[in-house]
Amino acid sequence: TPPTLPVTDAAGNWVYDPQVTSRENPVAWLTLPTNTAENLRILTNVGATYRITDDLSFKTNFGVDLSTIEENFFLPPNGVIFNQGIGLGGSRISKDQLFLNENFLQYQKQINETNRVDAILGMSFQESKFSFTDARRTNFPFNEIPIISAGGIISGANAGVQEWSIVSYFSR
């Protein structure tokens, strides 16, 4: 919109360039659409060592990395030229879960001043699961309800799950 035009008219409606009808009102474009993302993440580790004897100990570690992200997008049906009268909304939720457990059995024995035995036997287990749900809709009746369920037509939907795990054994 040229700088000679006001942002809104006397009635409060957005003003657009009458010469180039595809040109957006930049203030409307910055004000009306919403795009939010909320992230909750828990990252923690805990470990303990238990001395069975003077020479033998057991150590265990547990780790967790949990993440949930919720994203929402709404382009209202009125006020922007792109998708005028239709609107566009989207929602995506993704979860990422990672678990780790490591266990070590360690034997340490000083035989004399020059000889020592140091042996480790262990196991590590990791598991990951990622899932997401993504949905998009159009044909929103008005600007005031920016929730995806208010849209009339499902324009896209997708979901998926990915999982993996690994177990390792080791010694030294």
Residues 81 and 105 sit within 8 Å (Cβ to Cβ): no
Closest to 57 in 3D by CA, of 109, 5, 112: 109
Amino acid in the structure at residue 138: T
Each residue of 28-69: pLDDT tens digit? 888 889 999 999 999 999 999 999 999 999 999 999 999 999
Q: Give me the sign of the Cα torsion angle 47, 51, 55, 57.
A: negative
What is d(CA 109, CA 90) in angstroms, rounded to the nearest whole number?
63
Q: How far is CA 65 from the centre of its chain?
A: 12
Q: How many CB atoms lie within 10 A of CB 30?
A: 9
Tokens 């100990």 found at: 57
Q: What is the pLDDT of residue 27?
A: 87
β-strand partners of 132: 94, 160
Residues 162 and 100 sit within 8 Å (Cβ to Cβ): no
Question: Quick one: 57 exposed, middle or buried, by C-beta within 10 A (0-12, 13-18, 19+)?
Answer: middle
pTM above 0.85, yes or no: no
Q: What is the pLDDT of residue 157?
A: 94
pLDDT, averaged across the chain: 91
What is d(CA 1, CA 21) in angstroms, rounded to the nearest whole number?
9
Each residue of 91-133: pLDDT tens digit? 999 999 999 999 999 999 988 988 999 999 999 999 999 999 9
Amino acid in the structure at residue 171: S
What is d(CA 32, CA 79) in angstroms, rounded to the nearest whole number?
7
**Confidence category of residue 171, pLDDT binned at 50, 70, 90:** very high
Q: What are phi and psi of 27, to 5 degrees?
A: -70, -40
Closest to 167 in 3D by CA, of 98, 106, 100: 100
